[in-house]
Amino acid sequence: MKQIWSVVCTVIILGTLLSACSSSGNQSKTDQAANGDGSNKQKEVTIKVVEYKNLEGYKDIAREFEKQNPGVKVEFSYINSVDFDPTMKARYAAGDMPDIFNNWNVDVWKDFYEDLSDQPWVGDLFEGTKGFVTRDGKLLGMPYIIEGAGLVYNKELFEKAGITATPKTFTELKAIAQKLEDSGTQPFVNSYGEPLFQLGAHFFNNAMDRVDNPVQFIEDLRNGKAHLVGNPMFEQMLDVLRFSAEHGNHKDLTTDGNTQANDLVNGKAAMALQGNWIQDNVNKSNPGLKMGIMPYPFTDDINLNDKINMQIYSLAVYNKSPNKEIAKKFLNFLVTSDIGKKTLVEVFHQVPAMKTIKPTEQFVGPINMDLLSYLEQGKVVPVAFWDYFPIATDIGQVLQKFVANKTNSTQTLKEIETLFKNWR
């Protein structure tokens, strides 16, 4: 009798284990079978959308879309941008890929994106927004929102210090910093405790996206053909970095992005290297505050300075998704339907990448209107940090050492050159 029990137990235990391992595989197969024929509308189809921006208001668009397309459910989830890539890889490994997700590290993920060149919204895009998601002539995502990075400043504090025009050169920047300090305002607030986004991506990018051909230049750096030491643009970038640290907050190496944004929005300092996304913080904690954005004036060459670093927030469709036609339909709905257009401007408070959607200051706020005017004048340059994104954190760490006065500018540039050479 005892033997029988032990045999039964073993079979049950092993059986449970094996079935647990295979259950997810079966599940996805039946899903595919259900959605494959498309005509079968009784089965519910769920479109999973994963984003790195936490945009409230998607629900309204989704409900409207679900009403017009019975049997379709739209589900949103949000991943913090720093964890976006690792989380997506984990979801890919687990067979849990969403149908719509952000373009992030396009060169790594390019085999996973659906080509969207034939979509109806392509003609509405602003000039220059397609480059970020175009590879081998294919449009691998839908540019959705335009973001601008630069020096975000508090217009009220500028007025108080008697500053009438924004600085266009490094010399002018020094002069206005002096004026701000005379009026009792701290000129900068820096979050140099963030090696990736503050330093490695956005600060270093100021110089990188202004070289003639960033992609080629990075390639040359990796092969040792190009050099940063002796390159005036990169040396000036470090001068500006030092200047901003000297005229900024103490303990900047332990300040994070949230603290920086709060200090800026609450008037503790006049300027910060940030982007138009800070309008959200303004709306939340100090609504109505007059802020603006300008390009970071880090050289004395006006033509070089006077361009906002443009970043594209875009959505891609997973090319192996069984529901990709519905996913494309949803993307189209986002930017062409009335509720989609309205939500983008009035609820998300964003600058759309489509010319057909007109933002107004009442909803998007003054920073975004500044960005829009730069955009309409064509004074924008696409950010280059995606081209060196895997080592951006390391570059940020090297720049932190510079901010802490542990290395001089030649050593810093040399270390960054080594990073490029050792990057594989």
Partner 1 sequence: MNRVWSSSIMQQIVFMGPFVVLFILITAIPFTFGIYYSFTDWNGLSDKLPWVGIDNYKFIFTNDTAFIHSLWFTIRFTIVSVILCNVIGFIIAYFLSKPLKSRNVLRTLFFMPNVIGGIILGFIWLFIYTQGFSTIGEYTGIAFFNLPWLGTETTAFWALVIVFVWQGVGYIMVYYIAGLANVPQDLIEAATIDGAKTLQILRNIIFPMIMPSITVCIFISTVASFKSFDLNYSLTKGGPFLSTESVAMNIYTEAFAKNNMGLGAAKAIVFFFIVMIISIIQVYLTKKREVQV
Contacts with partner 1, residue ranges (CB under 8 A): 2-3, 6-7, 9-10, 13-14, 17, 21, 85-86, 89, 92, 105, 108-109, 111-112, 193, 195, 251, 253-254, 256, 259, 390-391, 393-394, 397-398, 400-401, 404, 406, 422-424
Least Cβ distance, residue 83 to partner 1 (angstroms): 10
Q: Which residues of 222-231 are buried (b: 16+ CB within 10 A; e: fewer)?
A: beeebebeee
Q: What share of the chain is helix, strand, coil (3-state, %, to 5)?
A: 55, 15, 30
Least Cβ distance, residue 77 to partner 1 (angstroms): 19
Q: In the complex with partner 1, which residue's Cβ is closer, 92 or 363?
A: 92
CA within 13 Å, CB half, 339: 15
Handedness of CA 108, 418, 203, 215 (dihedral sign): negative
Q: In the complex with partner 1, which residue's Cβ is closer, 345 or 419?
A: 419
Least Cβ distance, residue 153 to partner 1 (angstroms): 25
Least Cβ distance, residue 317 to partner 1 (angstroms): 17
CA distances, 221 to each of 10, 294, 419 (Å): 60, 29, 9
Q: In the complex with partner 1, which residue's Cβ is closer, 73 or 89?
A: 89
CA within 13 Å, CB half, 349: 20
CA distances, 367 to each of 68, 206, 209, 246, 328 (Å): 35, 19, 22, 26, 31
Least Cβ distance, residue 81 to partner 1 (angstroms): 12
β-strands 100-102, 45-51: how paired?
parallel
Q: How far apart are CA 179 and CA 158, in angstroms?
A: 9
Q: Do 220 and 388 meet the contact criterion of CB atoms below 8 Å apart?
A: no
| Residue 177, Ramachandran bin (φ over 0: left; ψ between -120 and 50: alpha; else beta) | alpha
Least Cβ distance, residue 422 to partner 1 (angstroms): 5
Q: In the complex with partner 1, which residue's Cβ is closer, 9 or 215?
A: 9
Least Cβ distance, residue 141 to partner 1 (angstroms): 17
Task: Find where tokens 């996206």 sit.
Answer: 209
**Which two three-digit tokens encode residue 412?**
């810093």
Q: In the complex with partner 1, which residue's Cβ is closer, 105 or 286?
A: 105
Q: In the complex with partner 1, which residue's Cβ is closer, 62 or 88?
A: 88
Least Cβ distance, residue 353 to partner 1 (angstroms): 27
SS (H, E, C) 231-264: CHHHHHHHHHHHHHHHCCCCCHHHCCHHHHHHHH
Q: Do 233 and 210 meet the contact criterion of CB atoms below 8 Å apart?
A: yes
Q: In the complex with partner 1, which residue's Cβ is closer, 7 or 302?
A: 7
Least Cβ distance, residue 4 to partner 1 (angstroms): 10
Q: Do 147 and 313 meet the contact criterion of CB atoms below 8 Å apart?
A: yes
Q: In the complex with partner 1, which residue's Cβ is closer, 25 or 287?
A: 25
Q: In the complex with partner 1, which residue's Cβ is closer, 190 or 350?
A: 190
